[in-house]
């Protein structure tokens, strides 16, 4: 709780009066020990933990997205190339949704140093869109050039939860400098997301129940793959995780960890921001860049490169590689209002469906869904749902 208070103070989200209120509340043992679980009614136990309606015939879509992983972490950097100034903003791995506003701010700060007023943004994934909107918010003109629009971009094939350190950087390349930049970037994004609450649920908060066969008292490891990827955390940014004893949850295991987190409803989220971009005078041009000469031919002098994995060939970045991730979409189920993570996959409620996922194949360029992967996650979640205490 101390950490969370420190974070809130640091971030300046709350005014002084409200902070005082929270500080007082935190000293009360009752409040600090347990938040109220909206799925739990003491008089009628577990009634409001709706069961997931899960079966293979309810899967209506499968996607494979290629996370734009960069061994040394995201690249936000200025580069002079002939007559053009390039501002790079790519390589966000499994954290692009979470970090997008923060790295957009870093990129726009660099873009401003060019003295230009009109910018080209390459790419219309979440990094390109947030960068273009941030340019507009600073009073600049922006044109997005892209070979593909959502939903045909990696960003549309993401889970869309708060995961600012997921498959972001190899542990061996982590430096204190990068960690500090990451921290500021994540906090900037986190604050921006709080201002997006209430817009038709493009961003929502939900409870995540971690139901492991073997209870792990440590915080959930963030996709670190046995220590290969750096494990980065900001203490206090999310509400504190709770360990629920068997009497306080309906699942078949002894102890369950509950952590409240953010979800991004991807289609409506992207739609809002692309529409805002157009409403503020932005232009979108469909164009594929095959070489640096194609970029040189643009009328804008300063170009912000948000091409994700495309940067690997376009800018010859050998630090990059894809990490493929498969998702399966169940028909939307409005009453299913929590996330569940098991040893073999997770389910997350979004407006466009219940998203099932949980795999990562480093170096794989395959974008064809593998039915066996879908079956594995469906089986894991079916097992948990069959054993839920109603």
Ligand X SMILES: Cc1cc2nc3c(=O)[nH]c(=O)nc-3n(C[C@H](O)[C@H](O)[C@H](O)COP(=O)(O)OP(=O)(O)OC[C@H]3O[C@@H](n4cnc5c(N)ncnc54)[C@H](O)[C@@H]3O)c2cc1C
> What CA–CA distances, in Å, run from 19 to 15, 22, 43, 225, 388?
6, 5, 34, 38, 39
Give the nearest distance from C-beta 6 to ligand X in angstroms.
24
Q: Which stretch binds ligand X (CB under 6 A): 44-52, 152-160, 214-222, 365-373?
A: 152-160
- Closer to ligand X by CB, 102 or 325: give it: 325
Q: Which residue in the set 54, 107, 142, 158 belongs to the binding site for ligand X (CB under 6 A)? A: 158
Question: Which 250-289 positions form the footprint of ligand X (CB under 6 A)?
Answer: 288-289
Task: Provide the 10 A C-beta neighbour count for residue 333.
Answer: 17
The contact mask relative to ligand X for 56-85 (x = CB under 6 A, - = no) is ---------x-xx-----------------
Q: Which stretch binds ligand X (CB under 6 A): 4-12, 28-36, 140-148, 295-303?
A: 140-148
If one asks whether residue 128 binds ligand X (CB under 6 A), the answer comes out as yes
Q: Which residue in the set 49, 87, 97, 108 belongs to the binding site for ligand X (CB under 6 A)? A: 97
Give the nearest distance from C-beta 174 to ligand X in angstroms.
18
The contact mask relative to ligand X for 180-219 (x = CB under 6 A, - = no) is ----------------------------------------
Nearest to 162 by CA among 261, 266, 268, 267: 261
Give the nearest distance from C-beta 47 to ligand X in angstroms.
30
- Closer to ligand X by CB, 236 or 310: give it: 310
If one asks whether residue 161 binds ligand X (CB under 6 A), the answer comes out as yes
If one asks whether residue 232 binds ligand X (CB under 6 A), the answer comes out as no
Q: For the residues of 284-303, what is the DSSP string, one character each?
A: EEE----SHHHHHTSS-SEE
Q: Which stretch binds ligand X (CB under 6 A): 25-33, 124-132, 218-226, 378-386?
A: 124-132
Q: For the residues of 218-236, what is the DSSP string, one character each?
A: SPPP-S-TTTTB-----TT
Radius of gyration of the chain (CA): 22
Contact (Cβ atoms closer than 8 angstroms) between residue 101 and residue 134: yes
Nearest to 188 by CA among 5, 11, 361, 47: 11
The contact mask relative to ligand X for 290-329 (x = CB under 6 A, - = no) is ----------------xxxxx---x----------x-x--
Contact (Cβ atoms closer than 8 angstroms) between residue 323 and residue 67: yes
If one asks whether residue 153 binds ligand X (CB under 6 A), the answer comes out as yes
If one asks whether residue 374 binds ligand X (CB under 6 A), the answer comes out as no
Contact (Cβ atoms closer than 8 angstroms) between residue 32 and residue 24: no
Alpha carbons 220 and 285: distance in angstroms, whole number? 42
If one asks whether residue 349 binds ligand X (CB under 6 A), the answer comes out as no
Alpha carbons 169 and 210: distance in angstroms, whole number? 24
Q: For the residues of 165-207, what is the DSSP string, one character each?
A: TTT-SBGGG--HHHHHHHHHHHHHHHHHHHTTBTSTTSEEEEE
Total of residues contacting ligand X (CB under 6 A) = 41
Give the nearest distance from C-beta 96 to ligand X in angstroms.
2
Alpha carbons 326 and 374: distance in angstroms, whole number? 8
**Contact footprint for ligand X (CB under 6 A):** 65, 67-68, 90, 92-98, 122-128, 146-148, 153-155, 157-161, 163, 288-289, 306-310, 314, 325, 327, 357
């Amino acid at each position: 709780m101390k950490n969370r208070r420190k974070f809130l103070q640091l971030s300046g989200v709350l005014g002084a009066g409200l902070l005082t209120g929270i500080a007082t509340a935190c000293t009360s043992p009752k409040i600090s020990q347990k938040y109220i679980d909206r799925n739990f009614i003491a008089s009628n136990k577990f009634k409001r933990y709706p069961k997931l309606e899960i079966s293979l015939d309810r899967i209506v879509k499968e996607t494979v997205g290629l996370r734009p992983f960069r061994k040394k972490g995201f690249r936000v950097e200025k580069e002079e190339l002939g007559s053009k100034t390039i501002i790079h903003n790519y390589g966000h791995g499994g954290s692009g949704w979470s970090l997008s506003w923060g790295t957009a701010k870093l990129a726009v700060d660099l873009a401003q140093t060019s003295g230009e007023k009109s910018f080209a943004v390459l790419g219309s994934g979440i990094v390109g869109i947030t960068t273009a909107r941030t340019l507009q918010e600073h009073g600049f003109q922006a044109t997005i050039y892209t070979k593909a629009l959502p939903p045909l971009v990696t960003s549309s094939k993401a889970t869309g939860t708060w995961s600012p350190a997921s498959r972001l950087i190899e542990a061996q390349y982590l430096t204190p400098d990068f960690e500090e930049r990451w921290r500021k970037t994540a906090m900037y994004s986190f604050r921006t997301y709080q201002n997006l609450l209430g817009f038709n649920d493009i961003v929502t908060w939900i409870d995540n129940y971690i139901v492991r066969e073997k209870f792990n008292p440590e915080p959930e490891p963030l996709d670190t793959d046995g220590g290969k990827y750096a494990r980065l955390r900001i203490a206090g940014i999310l509400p504190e995780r709770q360990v629920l004893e068997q009497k306080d949850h309906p699942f078949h295991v002894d102890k369950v960890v509950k952590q409240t987190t953010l979800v991004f409803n991807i289609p409506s989220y992207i739609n809002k921001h692309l529409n805002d971009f157009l409403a503020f005078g932005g232009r979108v041009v469909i164009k594929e860049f095959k070489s640096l000469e194609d970029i040189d031919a643009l009328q804008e002098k300063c170009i912000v490169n948000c091409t994700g994995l495309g940067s690997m060939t376009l800018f010859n970045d050998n630090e990059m590689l894809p990490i493929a991730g498969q998702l399966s979409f169940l028909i939307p189920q409005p009453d299913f209002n929590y996330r569940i993570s098991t040893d073999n996959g997770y389910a997350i409620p979004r407006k466009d469906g219940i998203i099932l996922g949980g795999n990562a194949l480093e170096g794989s360029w395959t974008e064809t869904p593998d039915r066996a992967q879908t079956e594995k996650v469906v089986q894991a979640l079916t097992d948990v749902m069959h054993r839920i205490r109603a």
